[in-house]
Amino acid sequence: MMIWLLLISLGGLFSLGIGLWVIFVHFFRTDIPAGIVYTGRFRVLHCLFLLVTALGNILEKLGICSMPKFVRFLHDRIPNKKDPKVVVTKLHFGTIPVRLYQPKAPSERPRCGIIFFHGGGSIFGSLRLYNSLCCYLSRESDSVVMSVGYRLVPDHKYPSPYHDCESATIYFLRTLETYGVDPCRVILCGDSAGGTSAASVCQTLVTHPDLPKIRAQLLIYPYLQGFNFQLPSNQQNKNVPFLSWNTLTSCLLRYFDIHPSWETAFLNGAHVPPEMREKSEERINACNIPKRFKEKGYQPKSPGPFNEMAYLETKQILWTVNSPLIADDDIIAQLPETLLVSCEFDSLRDHTLLYKKRLEDQGVPVSWHHIEDGFHGVILSFNTKPFFFPCSLRILNIIIHFIKDL
């Protein structure tokens, strides 16, 4: 009897400790922007996020399972409703799992094809989590959607996730007729890290004239560069959920298998060698960001002295495939029509603004939509009733209208 009482007491103390930690971090180390609609809903969602990741970190330290696996286990338990108007087929392209979404209604001509890469920093996210979103895209745009289940951290490090995205894309492009897709209307789409993959794969395909030409790319609050982490949006939103500085660096360190001791070096830009700084500063500079995005909470900072060891340990962050924003002008100029979506309360906001300028400077047609009440990851809330944010549906409708107008 005493043992059970002791266990119950310890369990209660453990739960109390976790709860107090969540409350402390949320109220004392987190910024909740007043411009977000349904602030109370946002707070509850963030506390749940903190609770889940805290439990995951504890399980990881105990050697039971990794934090990302624990989080994915939970988010894949969210029920998925079947869409009666969409046929969902589970396939494998080689070893890569994919899901194919096709409208049930017959079509008189080949449909538009959307290759979708989900977000989550290559740590979170899954085919199942994004199932409803892909159903919506397929149904509302009358398109065939191919969602890629690329490999994730911690079981697989870079470059496995990117290779899966590239390989699945090339295979799909070679077999479009099998799925009733018009080769002249293929779109690459992704959110967050999925947007990174979409941008990188799109640049890679420029060098593959033997494949069908991509009609458009749709990038939703993407990560596009690892050179400058002191942009206005980095400073303004460093403590804003759901991509605070701590979350962003955690994703980068895990994905590239970088030791945490180098975090300060790349925060200060000390990982960028002198011969790369001139080129990167020309393309990744706050001067290229509209003035209204720099009016609050931004202080220009010069990069720290070059640290060669930091560069050698983190140089993959600077490769063009991982920082598509610095691609050469001749590659950028060949990119297709682009839709960019940025959110005000997102540390990656300025990545989108800088890419918009790069594309426009090279004559690429760009449609840009800025969501004033948006935050990173909000698109996933579009069909989650307890945590629905109206701007998520606005983003999806922007995407649908863009696809229909192509």
Q: How far apart are CA 145 and CA 391, in angstroms?
A: 22
**Cα separation values, 252 from 20, 201, 282, 295, 348, Å:** 28, 19, 24, 28, 13
Q: How far apart are CA 169 and CA 209, in angstroms?
A: 14
Q: How far apart are CA 145 and CA 187, in angstroms?
A: 9
Q: Are residues 260 and 322 in the same domain?
A: yes
Residue-range definition of the domain harbouring residue 125: 83-406
Question: Token pair for residue 387?
Answer: 């945590």
Q: Are residues 66 and 98 in the same domain?
A: no
Q: Are residues 235 and 172 in the same domain?
A: yes
Secondary element (H or E) of residue 200 = helix 193-205
Total structural domains in the chain?
A: 2
Residue 8 covered by a domain: no
What is the full DSSP assignment across 281-341?
HHHS-GGGS-GGGGSSS----PPPPP-HHHHHHHGGGGSTTT-GGG--HHHHTT--EEEEE
Residue 145 covered by a domain: yes
For residue 45, give the amino acid letter.
L
**Which residues are catalytically annotated?**
192, 346, 376
Residue 2 covered by a domain: no
- Provide the Cα torsion 228, 231, 233, 239; round to 10°: 70
Question: Token pair for residue 116?
Answer: 């979708």
What is the full DSSP assignment across 46-102?
HHHHHHHHHHHHHHHHTTS--HHHHHHHHHTTS-----TTEEEEEEEETTEEEEEEE
CATH number at residue 352: 3.40.50.1820
Q: Are residues 247 and 315 in the same domain?
A: yes
Assess contact for 364 and 335: CB atoms under 8 A.
Answer: yes
pLDDT score, position 15 = 73
Q: What's 389's DSSP letter?
A: -
**Cα separation values, 233 from 20, 139, 174, 180, 230, Å:** 29, 34, 39, 42, 8
**Cα separation values, 228 from 115, 320, 354, Å:** 29, 14, 12
Q: Are residues 99 and 235 in the same domain?
A: yes
Q: Are residues 53 and 163 in the same domain?
A: no
Residue 339 covered by a domain: yes
pLDDT score, position 276 = 94
Q: Are residues 142 and 71 in the same domain?
A: no
Residue 5 covered by a domain: no
Q: Are residues 330 and 393 in the same domain?
A: yes
Q: Are residues 67 and 96 in the same domain?
A: no
The Cα diameter of the chain in Å comes to: 76
Residue 404 covered by a domain: yes
Residue 190 covered by a domain: yes
Q: Are residues 35 and 131 in the same domain?
A: no
* Domain endpoint, select from 59, 75, 91: 75
pLDDT score, position 8 = 56
Nearest Cα to Cα of residue 346 among 375, 371, 373: 375
Residue 270, classified by CB atoms within 10 Å of its CB into exposed (0-12), middle (13-18) or buried (19+), is buried
Q: Are residues 180 and 329 in the same domain?
A: yes
* Domain endpoint, select from 53, 75, 97: 75
Residue 117 covered by a domain: yes
* Domain endpoint, select from 30, 59, 75: 75
Q: Are residues 49 and 108 in the same domain?
A: no
Assess contact for 273 and 306: CB atoms under 8 A.
Answer: yes
Average pLDDT for runs of 10 along the chain of length 406:
55 72 93 94 96 94 94 92 96 97 95 98 96 97 98 92 97 97 98 98 96 98 97 97 96 94 94 92 94 94 94 96 97 98 98 98 98 97 92 97 96
The SS3 call for residue 24 is helix
Question: Token pair for residue 360?
Answer: 């426009």
